[in-house]
């Protein structure tokens, strides 16, 4: 451990074992090159996201981290290891708290945040590729792949930031990532729940609506089974204002819920009361 024991530990002779993966000629962690690259990639993403939360991140640091990420991306792309890249992104973003407090709108200059948008776009495009692949394959496979690849991501869904935040122009890249990630989760999860014969197909009803403008945070207890995208502002207010039956019916029909949903419903009721001012 670096800097750990000041008393001086007894050093054992370290040998650099030959490793066919060790393209660089040396290992920095004693791990194979690929594992180390993955680790470096993950650390870089975490650092970038952490930097984005600062009000004024160091430009030099952000640029260097970004370039390191791009370098690894290029290497993976050159090796044709896009699958690794996807899992690395999914793993990295799944592990990090993607929900960050809304950042104040900043003036266009300086814009250390936008610098990362290209990286974010790369990330987003890779994940969209993943999404497209999922859509094209049949439902069975889709369900399988989504469980595998987004297993960890789904767990964090309730903590992901609201899509509202991601719609702003000057959003940090981590927010953009969250939005894309969220869309994919929604898409794939709806694929999971869609084939229920007597359920109302929300996808068809609300496919033309864009959820990105609305703060749907308070709906998160339900999002595990309902696609976030289709609910418009009108639908939400109608659901609550015009009687709880509408929403509850829809909800109950499309999900196999336990009594947990009643508690959440009460909570939601309470929230709505606060919002509406009753």
Partner 1 sequence: MPRRGEYNVYSTFQSHEPEFDYLKSLEIEEKINKIRWLPRQNAAYSLLSTNDKTVKLWKITERDKRPDGFNLKDDEGRIKNPNDITALRVPFFKPTELIVEASPRRVYANAHTYHINSISLNSDHETFLSGDDLRINLWHLEITDRSFNIVDIKPANMEELTEVITAAEFHPSMCNVFVYSSSKGTIRLCDMRQRALCDQHAKMFEEPEDPSNRSFFSEIISSISDVKFSHSGRYLISRDYLSVKVWDLQMDSRPIETYQVHEYLRSKLCSLYENDCIFDKFECAWNGTDTQIMTGSYNNFFRMFDRNTKRDLTLEASRENTKPKCILKPRRVCTGGKRKKDEISVDSLDFNKKILHTAWHPTENIIAVAATNNLYIFQDKDKV
- Which residues lie near partner 1 (CB under 8 A)? 1-11, 13-14, 24-29, 36-37, 39-40, 43, 55-56, 58-61, 63-64, 66-68, 71-72, 104, 106-107, 109-112, 114-115, 117-118
Closest distance of CB 255 from partner 1, Å: 42
Cα–Cα distance measured from residue 263 to residue 259, given in angstroms and rounded to the nearest whole number:
7
Q: Nearest to residue 18, comparing CAs of 34, 28, 32, 39? A: 32
Closest distance of CB 117 from partner 1, Å: 5
| Closer CB to partner 1, 71 or 143, in the complex | 71
Cα–Cα distance measured from residue 20 to residue 205, given in angstroms and rounded to the nearest whole number:
55
| Closer CB to partner 1, 84 or 115, in the complex | 115
Buried b (16+ CB within 10 A) or exposed e, 164-200: bbbbeeebbbbbbbbbbbbbbbbbbbbbebeeeeeee
Closest distance of CB 224 from partner 1, Å: 34
| Closer CB to partner 1, 16 or 276, in the complex | 16
Closest distance of CB 62 from partner 1, Å: 9
| Closer CB to partner 1, 104 or 277, in the complex | 104
| Closer CB to partner 1, 9 or 256, in the complex | 9
How many residues in the chain? Answer: 278
Closest distance of CB 88 from partner 1, Å: 13
- Token pair listed for 160: 């992901």
CA distances from 115 to 44, 65, 135, 179 (A): 15, 11, 31, 18
| Closer CB to partner 1, 114 or 154, in the complex | 114
Q: Are 76 and 82 in contact (CB under 8 A)?
A: yes
| Closer CB to partner 1, 29 or 259, in the complex | 29
Closest distance of CB 191 from partner 1, Å: 33
Torsion of CA 220, 221, 224, 228, to 10 degrees: -30
Q: What H or E segment, with its residue span, contains residue 131? A: helix 117-136
List phi, psi (to 5°) of 56. Answer: -135, 85
Closest distance of CB 177 from partner 1, Å: 15
| Closer CB to partner 1, 106 or 143, in the complex | 106
Q: Are 152 and 146 in contact (CB under 8 A)?
A: no
Q: Are 160 and 184 in contact (CB under 8 A)?
A: no
Closest distance of CB 41 from partner 1, Å: 8
**Residue 56 has what DSSP assignment?**
S
Cα–Cα distance measured from residue 174 to residue 95, given in angstroms and rounded to the nearest whole number:
13
């Amino acid at each position: 451990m670096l800097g750990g024991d000041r008393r001086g530990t007894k050093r054992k002779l370290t040998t650099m074992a030959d490793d066919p993966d060790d393209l660089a000629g040396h290992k920095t962690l004693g791990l194979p090159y690929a594992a180390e690259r993955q680790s470096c990639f993950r650390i870089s993403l975490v650092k970038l996201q952490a930097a984005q939360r600062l009000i004024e991140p160091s430009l030099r640091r952000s640029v260097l981290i970004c370039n390191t990420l791009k370098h690894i991306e290029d290497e993976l792309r050159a090796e044709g290891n896009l699958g690794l890249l996807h899992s690395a992104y999914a793993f990295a973003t799944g592990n990090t708290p993607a929900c960050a407090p809304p950042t104040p709108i900043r003036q266009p200059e300086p814009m250390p945040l936008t610098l990362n948008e290209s990286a974010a776009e790369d990330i987003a495009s890779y994940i969209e590729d993943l999404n497209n692949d999922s859509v094209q394959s049949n439902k069975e496979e889709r369900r399988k792949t989504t469980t595998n690849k987004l297993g960890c991501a789904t767990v964090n869904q309730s903590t992901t930031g609201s899509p509202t935040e991601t719609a702003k122009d000057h959003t940090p890249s981590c927010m953009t990532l969250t939005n894309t990630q969220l869309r994919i989760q929604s898409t794939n999860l709806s694929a999971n729940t869609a084939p229920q014969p007597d359920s109302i197909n929300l996808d068809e009803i609300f496919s033309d609506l864009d959820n990105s403008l609305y703060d749907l945070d308070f709906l998160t207890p339900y999002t595990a089974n309902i696609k976030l995208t289709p609910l418009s502002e009108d639908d939400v207010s109608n659901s609550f204002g015009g009687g709880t039956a509408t929403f509850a019916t829809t909800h109950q029909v499309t999900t196999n819920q336990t009594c947990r949903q009643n508690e959440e419903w009460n909570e939601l009721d309470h929230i709505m009361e606060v919002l509406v001012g009753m």
